[in-house]
């Protein structure tokens, strides 16, 4: 279980964050990480993470438990919120870049927990 979780963490999450990290390094504004995600770019990474985690969780042929349903539900909620935030960001002037960046960080933290739970449960 730990092996699959670590593989997901380093290749799935790390690989997804790599383009944002490269943009951050190349931007020359190393003190301003929000500049890289202020238009919702991190939401795309979150949506991808959630989709993979849900696929892993529900792609196994076994009896569903309460843990499966709970982890899958939270991950689905994170997927829906990240998709809505990314979709609404360009059209809603009330969503300032700072607000989008802050919400993205919070959503990313919750998504790491819920997606990691899905990955761990899928192996159990």
Q: What SS3 state is found at 72?
A: helix
**Structural domain tally of the chain?**
1
Q: Given CA atoms 66, 67, 73, 76 in this order, what sign does their dihedral have?
A: negative
**Does 78 have pLDDT greater than 90?**
yes
Q: Is residue 28 included in any domain, yes or no? A: no
With cut-offs at 50, 70 and 90, classify the pLDDT of residue 90: confident
Mean pLDDT across the stretch 14-30?
Answer: 88
Q: Is residue 34 included in any domain, yes or no? A: no
Q: Is residue 22 included in any domain, yes or no? A: no
Nearest to 110 by CA among 60, 56, 43: 43
Q: Is residue 36 included in any domain, yes or no? A: no
Which range marks the domain in which residue 88 is found?
A: 41-124
Q: Is residue 15 included in any domain, yes or no? A: no
Are 78 and 50 in contact by the 8 Å Cβ rule? The answer is yes
Q: Is residue 119 included in any domain, yes or no? A: yes
Q: Is residue 53 included in any domain, yes or no? A: yes
Question: d(Cα 100, Cα 93) in Å, to the nearest integer?
Answer: 11
Q: Is residue 17 included in any domain, yes or no? A: no
Among 7-21, 83-97, 104-118, the range of highest mean pLDDT:
104-118
CA angle 116–34–79, rounded 5-degree value: 35
pTM exceeds cut of 0.75: yes
DSSP codes, 2-64: HHHHHHIIIIIIHHHHHHHHHHHHHHS-TT-THHHHTTSHHHHHHHHHHHHHHHHHHTS-S--
């Amino acid at each position: 279980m730990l092996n699959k979780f670590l593989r997901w963490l380093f290749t799935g999450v790390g690989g997804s964050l790599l383009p944002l990290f490269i943009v951050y390094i190349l931007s020359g504004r190393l003190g301003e990480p929000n500049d890289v995600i202020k238009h919702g770019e991190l939401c795309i990474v979150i949506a991808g993470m959630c989709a993979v985690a849900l696929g892993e969780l529900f792609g196994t042929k076994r009896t569903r438990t309460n843990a499966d349903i709970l982890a899958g539900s939270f991950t689905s909620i994170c997927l829906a919120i990240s998709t809505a935030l990314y979709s609404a960001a360009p059209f809603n002037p009330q969503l300032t870049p700072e607000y989008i960046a802050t919400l993205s960080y919070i959503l990313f933290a919750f998504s790491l927990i819920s997606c990691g739970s899905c990955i761990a449960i899928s192996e159990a």
